[in-house]
Amino acid sequence: MSQLILYLSKDEIQKIVADMAKRISDDYKGKNPVFVGILKGSFIFLSDIVRYLTIPAELDFIRTSSYGNKSVSSGEVKLTKDIEVDIKNRDVIIVEDVADTGVTLSYLIDYMNSKNPNSIKTCALLDKRGYRKIGIELDYYGHYVSEGFLVGYGLDYAEKYRCLPDIYDLKL
Ligand code: IMP
Ligand code: MG
């Protein structure tokens, strides 16, 4: 039987997200960046972080698939929904729920660079940097994760648990 162990409460998450938004707002003062959320996992994180910003922002979404219904990455990224905003000469911030192997983010950085933005930075709520297969360093991260498979607050396991307000470690 699988078990959910509380990992970050909704209050802890809000503190982390507000702090990230402050750092981003300071760094992008006077600018109007485009936040590109990676669906589906980042949808709650993105909707929270933009409400703490003190700068204007535009939003768009992109969707990739690599996991299927497993908890281990297949290592292949497929673009299943493209962005719609023209990011040429824009400052782009890619918003991810969890940066794990780095395969998704490195693929998306290359993909978006081909559209000639002014800059690209990466932002992830959770950083599993010990699991990187590609040496991506996040520009903004909320919380370092040393191990476990986390669900809730947008994060799923086989499309389950996304709507939980807190983040849990799923023990299968
Ligand atoms: P990557 O391995 O860095 O390419 O991460 C691919 C995707 O795996 C991310 O977009 C996450 O949505 C998902 N992922 C990685 N670790 C977890 C986890 O602990 N819980 C839920 N999703 C995860
Ligand atoms: Mg995901």
One-letter amino acid of 59: L
Q: Is the pLDDT of residue 7 over 90?
A: yes
Is the minimum distance from the CB of 66 to ligand 1 under 6 angstroms?
yes
Tell me the two tokens of residue 70.
Answer: 């497993």
Ligand 1 centre to CA of 156 (Å) is: 9
Is the minimum distance from the CB of 65 to ligand 1 under 6 angstroms?
no
The whole-angstrom separation of Cα 15 and Cα 161 is 22
Tell me the ligand closest to 133's alpha carbon: 1
Mutate to test the pocket of ligand 1, among 36, 97, 157 (most ligand atoms within 8 A of CB): 97
Q: What is the pLDDT of residue 41?
A: 97
The whole-angstrom separation of Cα 157 and Cα 65 is 13
Mutate to test the pocket of ligand 1, among 38, 98, 125, 155 (most ligand atoms within 8 A of CB): 98
Q: Encode pLDDT of 91-144 as tens digits.
A: 999 999 999 999 999 999 999 999 999 999 999 999 999 999 999 999 999 999
What domains appear along the chain, each with residue ranges and CATH number? Answer: 8-147 (3.40.50.2020)
The chain-wide mean pLDDT, for the chain, equals 95
Percentage, residues of the chain above pLDDT 70: 95
Q: Encode pLDDT of 21-69 as tens digits.
A: 999 999 999 999 999 999 999 999 999 999 999 999 999 999 998 755 5
The whole-angstrom separation of Cα 159 and Cα 18 is 27
